[in-house]
Structure 1
């Protein structure tokens, strides 16, 4: 998520960034993978440079940790 690399995580206002990321990811997934039935996305700051991103669908959920410096990891 290159467009959010300079935004603060883990601060008082990080919820604004988290909501923006959720919306951007949902929009992009619907464009790129229209058959994928994602029902929700939730971003939560877990440190100054990491987000926990949860994807929700009918079949269950999946959590991914995204770090600013290295992209996606687990």
Structure 2
């Protein structure tokens, strides 16, 4: 994937994480499942390699958890 495409994916993922993290986000499994679904949708939209998606989704969720902790 090119740098431009990865930059677009990153921007969309940041927007999704910001819109979908709340103070109690790290506690609610339903919120995490929703975010996981949204991240997969963005990755599929831009043709992110399927064999790398699981790791990318986990990385985004870990970063979202850290962001939620910082905003408390």
TM score, norm. by length of structure 2: 0.48
TM score, norm. by length of structure 1: 0.47
User: Which structure features the higher share of helix residues?
Assistant: 2
The answer to which structure, 1 or 2, has the higher relative contact order (CA under 8 A, 6+ apart) is 2
User: Which structure features the higher share of strand residues?
Assistant: 1
